[in-house]
Structure 1
């Protein structure tokens, strides 16, 4: 069912000179196209985007989200992957919560309840499948009730620290002597955010040859014609008033240049080449333009001198997104590259229309959603709708269009991605977008590697259901092929075995329908061999900084008001829950209980010291090859170890019907999870920090299954705290053993949206102050429409409805509408 192997190709020739011609069938062009096909057919890249109900949250609130996973080349949502992971990362880039979602047609929705103990900061949501890893831009968490309202995160003040070197990027790739080039540059502070600079480009004699001034996001460009043998430097004035000098790249004596400008209908490409004196004429160069593997233009032309050759590339022949324009020499080596952006056609629209401009509190609100294509015809698609209080401070945040068409195909984060999609598209916005594409490179592949046959390998198996996959490696890190891997899970108990393939990989399928369960993997080593290692797929690396931090002056007022509203909302929600149904007032009571015991390993225990004998495993056992059962032998009075079995005297003997006695195995636990006696006996000691042994008295805590006593081991990684990331590499993988929690599919909650009927009595306070409405599943009908209705709450003011989604043909769409809620007049 790997069906993404086709490549759309249409040779487009609308040229300003007659020098261009169709590519000759000489193998160079065919090799390039074949490499593109192989890349998308082998790597099967995907993109993931999360639509959130609002841009920032307070601790104690809930994040509602809709996930859209699309094929990276076509943007169609019918993806091969059926499992999506959504992680919440703390400001220190630790996973503090995770959701595992079942994808249906590339779609899923869920929610994250934020603990009220989360610290203030910028958290990050990332969504990814096993095939591709994309990250959602930053999620700003504002302090909830009880926190100081002025402790919000701020961008470092410009001038407070020396910015990084204003990185310089000659258009096409290189500066060539005596050939004019457009040069892009970007100035950032220590946090990676653009800063405003101005300065001058000087030659070796100190003469100014160009001036530079940043525009949006600390980016800008200037024109430069390098003189032979000259070196250039930029002298800039820093935001704090100081000065700094930065050298420009050295120009080359020979080479190619490529310059792209645009008109309303075309991309205008100008090519030049400077050859060494007396050099023999070279073969024709190849100019090719493609968008995510779809070739829109390809033609050959000789470049034998510095005289420019111009090509007109009609925009109508490009699909929306980032177009990759490349100039290849006669050998098929990429010499110049340039990115340009192709927006959605103007006619593509997603509109939201409320039936009234304003409503009274608790009045019914009706919205009509309409999706049309470039020709104004209705289109089918999947959408999600959120209605919340608007915030101008985050108006330029990410959207589904900015992510799929722009950010996801660029290297590194894009600051204020929504800015480039503002309507109307002014010359200033188009210039800022040009600066961005001059300074930020395409991220999916490198031509040199691709044409050399170095295709990206898929680290682990495609997930079309819950599964456990990984790789077994030797102690030296080489693949261990043909090795046995044992799988054991609890709740319910399941055991399986399989052999690794030649690359050491394994895959246990058929885990759908499970709740979160404890899983252990074991790969025994051969006699005399060092312990093997088990590797699980690693999650995508966390980006160091979010994309959308704003200066404190830009959002302090908005977040201060938001914190106040959040505190009010949560107080009303608690009050509403208490008022639902009957309540009974109790006299003062005293409740006593035993606090869960915590020992040196930091793990929480439901029993006290009197219940257990505790063995502390010393830290010097890291290189010990003993197993748990070998360590237990002879260490605890009353514990008898015979071969691979363990019995606890006075807790494990029962009589049978004939009067004889037989032994009952104790209950075995590792990090609180029940495991089989065989798995417990083989568990490596080096993984364990403490072992608790309890006799039959433990049956009061663990039930009849503990009639033979309990032996509970706690690993060095089993401390109470944030859940382990089940996709992390080498988690607990020592001695050929791996232990982790395998999450089941998350069951999304339903957004609370009360209905107020005219004849019904007035209910308690409505706690919806931030998000009035969230509907993650909206489908358009044959007319391209969908009808939505909900009731306003007690909150008054302006609210914004935002719809996002993607059509069945892969077009990302977004629409907004605003309306006002006013206080209802007393009857």
Structure 2
């Protein structure tokens, strides 16, 4: 009797202890999740480009979107966005700083004709996003092509087929038990995936057998090589899958089942999210906690206080936002033991882009008027920020399966890895097959934004990379003479533009650090930074013996290519595009033969070709004549310093403040010349890019007239011997051009009614029109007007963006030019 009494008391004490733990854990989850969504929310970036691929000399027109990663509304954190154009050697060719005073803003990259065709990247991020892994940055692969078919090599992935296979190959087959593990004596759902692209559209029958070769079940794969079966493992048994491909059998071992544990099953039936939890432990689900969130915002957070072996939960879809739901079951030790992703697509949450036009058919050079609005399910107009491109379908065949802002924000930005052809799942609403396939994909992917241990127990407070509200000018002050110690002294910062603006005097701190800003200004402005040992009233020259070192930032983040979503253009599409572009080029040439024309700026056909003149001018500046590796800096309008110009040079590698040259497999530190006078690499950051005329790279025997190191980077100023003129360094003062936010160029849209110049040249735009920023309102439609070109074709109108309340939208329409 006493033993029974003490046993009851012990159980009550244990239950009380567990209850206290449960209350503590659920409260911890609630507090950490609220802090994440309100204060530590991530930022997401998306970039809409005007078209999928380009030719040398083109402009890449884009609209960059920056949103709160939880709500998808305007982020209240960063006002500065970095957009980068990166070559296949991971060198940043161009970096733009964009001012984000709204959800989206315009930008553009000029593709130099001197670049090599290939696969380039567009990458965009904020400084605050650098606190996470670079895999969270937006990255998009862009194909740059040459109309010279000898230079453009079209590469497509070779998919093995029954016709081109030289010998049988064993495909990769992965197993994904729902929740994470197979558990003995519990029914488990298992998703399979054949990873080889050949099986994306080829169904394969797979049999499941046990270690005694007893048949358990079979299944046939669906699109993307996916499939699903159910298995209730038995103790002391193992299981394998048998795949038969064209008479060849391949055997795959299933993951070994656990003797004890938990299972988590979830089903979205369109109306409700149904969740089932099971356990084969003696205490059942007692002490476990179930947490459900969407992008960090809690949906469900509760602990199990009974010894049930089985529990069901139903959540109405009407209460959920669209996007990825993350379900996690924690064991009594507060470790996540089961996890599952579910995609919610509640049609009541959707918003629709409506594109209306007076007619579908137009003649050449005729005005088109489009009316745009965004409506919810109740047909109410919504405030939204949009961007629009109009593409020639002869050049760019429609690909409704590619990434857009809707697929990125709701799907790919929140799952580990990249889901290819994501637009496929949004092409048709309420399509049961696509909904099923997307659920299979959810079963094979993990949540990417945070890990539970990091969210719940990480005590790190201050992020390494701060939120940037504008342009900051910072640095440190040191003693001019040995031992060059840190000095806390008065500093002064002055804008030397059309209007001189002097900031209040600021004393550098005990570590010699000072910081001015954040400022909002565009392009470049001359500035002065000054420091004095005592004060600025002193006339003593020794009072100027202060060394000012300007901060140069922490460099650009590492490029991670395995996380980007790749350009999925087919070889036939690219070949057709090149043929069409060449046809348009011939059309333009025939038009020019009929009359003297204007080519960007007025030139006469009787004048010497300007490119040849420019080349002769550059050759005349050097002591060695021409160079095979030359960059004309006058074609660059993005770089701020001479160092940044070097990103345009093939074979030149820049790491922080160091410059290397790669030639014939070896890497060399080059001699750097400015107007053929040696300078230190650190001085390149102080020379404005606008003062540089051109750069030559000399390697091997070409460099022998200057050095025996094997490599020379030779820069030439626009005025000659201008280094000291452009870079002024005196004790206690430095002056330079502060680089502000980038001002995007305006897309050229001809006026065929009032324009005079337009009458003298062919109009052969493949991007018929581009509008990087459109603001819709609740009061009515927004009108967009443009003219058709000389190309008779079908044109695709693409509109994407996001509503004020964070709903991403994507819509298309077409016009025909006869």
- Give the TM-score of the pair, scaled to structure 1: 0.70
Preserved contact between residue 597 and residue 605 of structure 1 (Cα < 8 Å): no
Distance in 1 between residues matched to 2:423 and 2:361, nearest whole Å: 27
Distance in 2 between residues matched to 1:147 and 1:537, nearest whole Å: 37
Match of 1:101 in 2: 98
Preserved contact between residue 274 and residue 312 of structure 2 (Cα < 8 Å): yes
Match of 2:69 in 1: 72
Distance in 1 between residues matched to 2:491 and 2:230, nearest whole Å: 63
- The aligned runs of 1:9-408 (5 Å cut-off) are 26-41=23-38, 43-132=40-129, 134-136=136-138, 138-148=140-150, 151-158=153-160, 165-189=172-196, 198-236=205-243, 244-275=250-281, 279-280=282-283, 283-301=286-304, 304=307, 306=309, 308-343=310-345, 345-346=347-348, 348-390=351-393, 391-392=396-397, 394-408=399-413
Q: Are the structure 2 counterparts of residues 296 and 565 from structure 1 closer, same or farther at C-alpha, using a change threshold of 3 Å?
A: farther
Preserved contact between residue 34 and residue 297 of structure 2 (Cα < 8 Å): no
Of stretches 358-367 and 161-170 in structure 1, the one that deviates more from structure 2 is 161-170
Quote the offset at 1:800 in angstroms: 1.1
Distance in 2 between residues matched to 1:425 and 1:561, nearest whole Å: 39
Match of 1:421 in 2: 426
Preserved contact between residue 573 and residue 767 of structure 1 (Cα < 8 Å): no
Q: Are the structure 2 counterparts of residues 598 and 221 from structure 1 closer, same or farther at C-alpha, using a change threshold of 3 Å?
A: farther
Q: Are the structure 2 counterparts of residues 115 and 264 from structure 1 closer, same or farther at C-alpha, using a change threshold of 3 Å?
A: same
Distance in 2 between residues matched to 1:539 and 1:365, nearest whole Å: 43
Distance in 1 between residues matched to 2:757 and 2:85, nearest whole Å: 41
Preserved contact between residue 362 and residue 793 of structure 1 (Cα < 8 Å): yes
- The aligned runs of 1:779-798 (5 Å cut-off) are 779-798=775-794
Of stretches 145-154 and 121-130 in structure 1, the one that deviates more from structure 2 is 145-154
Preserved contact between residue 572 and residue 766 of structure 1 (Cα < 8 Å): no
Preserved contact between residue 22 and residue 303 of structure 2 (Cα < 8 Å): no
Match of 1:716 in 2: none
Distance in 1 between residues matched to 2:211 and 2:287, nearest whole Å: 36
Q: Are the structure 2 counterparts of residues 703 and 93 from structure 1 closer, same or farther at C-alpha, using a change threshold of 3 Å?
A: closer
Match of 2:620 in 1: 594
Distance in 2 between residues matched to 1:548 and 1:604, nearest whole Å: 29
Preserved contact between residue 197 and residue 224 of structure 2 (Cα < 8 Å): no
Preserved contact between residue 122 and residue 138 of structure 1 (Cα < 8 Å): no
Larger helix share, 1 or 2:
2
Count of matched residue pairs:
672
Preserved contact between residue 33 and residue 298 of structure 2 (Cα < 8 Å): no
Preserved contact between residue 199 and residue 212 of structure 1 (Cα < 8 Å): yes
Preserved contact between residue 182 and residue 188 of structure 2 (Cα < 8 Å): yes
Q: 2:521 aligns with which of 501, 505, 513?
A: 513
Preserved contact between residue 598 and residue 605 of structure 1 (Cα < 8 Å): no
Quote the offset at 1:261 in angstroms: 1.4
Q: Are the structure 2 counterparts of residues 214 and 191 from structure 1 closer, same or farther at C-alpha, using a change threshold of 3 Å?
A: closer
Quote the offset at 1:113 in angstroms: 1.4
SS at structure 2 position matched to 1:544: helix
Distance in 2 between residues matched to 1:123 and 1:569, nearest whole Å: 29
Quote the offset at 1:435 in angstroms: 1.4
Determine if the alignment matches structure 1 residue 441 to structure 2 residue 428. no
Distance in 2 between residues matched to 1:692 and 1:542, nearest whole Å: 28
1:385-433: CA deviation from partner (whole Å, max 9, x where unpaired): 1111244463211111111111111112221111111123322211111
Match of 1:657 in 2: none
1:248-305: CA deviation from partner (whole Å, max 9, x where unpaired): 2221111111111122311111211111xxx456635333322123223345545746
Preserved contact between residue 354 and residue 372 of structure 2 (Cα < 8 Å): yes
Match of 2:767 in 1: 771
Preserved contact between residue 203 and residue 231 of structure 1 (Cα < 8 Å): yes
Quote the offset at 1:164 in angstroms: 7.3
Gaps in structure 1 of 5+ consecutive residues = 1-21, 473-480, 522-532, 607-665, 676-687, 713-739, 823-827
Distance in 2 between residues matched to 1:180 and 1:414, nearest whole Å: 28
Q: Are the structure 2 counterparts of residues 689 and 206 from structure 1 closer, same or farther at C-alpha, using a change threshold of 3 Å?
A: same
1:69-104: CA deviation from partner (whole Å, max 9, x where unpaired): 000011112431011111122234332322221111
- Give the TM-score of the pair, scaled to structure 2: 0.71
Match of 1:671 in 2: 684
Determine if the alignment matches structure 1 residue 799 to structure 2 residue 812. no
Distance in 2 between residues matched to 1:36 and 1:212, nearest whole Å: 40
Distance in 1 between residues matched to 2:244 and 2:686, nearest whole Å: 62
Distance in 2 between residues matched to 1:311 and 1:320, nearest whole Å: 19
Preserved contact between residue 268 and residue 342 of structure 2 (Cα < 8 Å): no
Q: Are the structure 2 counterparts of residues 154 and 595 from structure 1 closer, same or farther at C-alpha, using a change threshold of 3 Å?
A: farther
Distance in 1 between residues matched to 2:158 and 2:141, nearest whole Å: 18
Preserved contact between residue 88 and residue 96 of structure 1 (Cα < 8 Å): yes
1:366-390: CA deviation from partner (whole Å, max 9, x where unpaired): 1111111232211111111111124
Distance in 2 between residues matched to 1:198 and 1:743, nearest whole Å: 61
Determine if the alignment matches structure 1 residue 411 to structure 2 residue 419. no
1:330-374: CA deviation from partner (whole Å, max 9, x where unpaired): 454333221111225345211111211111111111111111123
Of stretches 76-85 and 192-201 in structure 1, the one that deviates more from structure 2 is 192-201
1:160-185: CA deviation from partner (whole Å, max 9, x where unpaired): 69677433221111111121222223
SS at structure 1 position matched to 2:438: helix
SS at structure 2 position matched to 1:43: coil
Quote the offset at 1:244 in angstroms: 4.2
Q: Are the structure 2 counterparts of residues 471 and 129 from structure 1 closer, same or farther at C-alpha, using a change threshold of 3 Å?
A: farther
Q: Are the structure 2 counterparts of residues 24 and 149 from structure 1 closer, same or farther at C-alpha, using a change threshold of 3 Å?
A: same
Q: Are the structure 2 counterparts of residues 808 and 469 from structure 1 closer, same or farther at C-alpha, using a change threshold of 3 Å?
A: farther
Task: Provide the alpha-carbon RMSD of the alignment.
Answer: 4.9
- The aligned runs of 1:428-827 (5 Å cut-off) are 428-453=433-458, 458-467=463-472, 498=508, 509-510=517-518, 512-513=520-521, 515=523, 536=554, 538-539=556-557, 541-544=559-562, 546-550=564-568, 552=570, 555-556=573-574, 558-564=576-582, 567=585, 577-578=598-599, 583=604, 585-586=606-607, 593-596=619-622, 670-671=683-684, 673-674=686-687, 701-702=720-721, 744-757=740-753, 763-822=759-818
Preserved contact between residue 55 and residue 394 of structure 1 (Cα < 8 Å): no
Preserved contact between residue 287 and residue 304 of structure 2 (Cα < 8 Å): yes
Distance in 1 between residues matched to 2:387 and 2:719, nearest whole Å: 50
Distance in 2 between residues matched to 1:101 and 1:573, nearest whole Å: 39
Gaps in structure 2 of 5+ consecutive residues = 1-18, 478-484, 530-550, 634-678, 689-708, 730-735
Preserved contact between residue 80 and residue 99 of structure 2 (Cα < 8 Å): yes
SS at structure 1 position matched to 2:759: coil
SS at structure 2 position matched to 1:810: coil
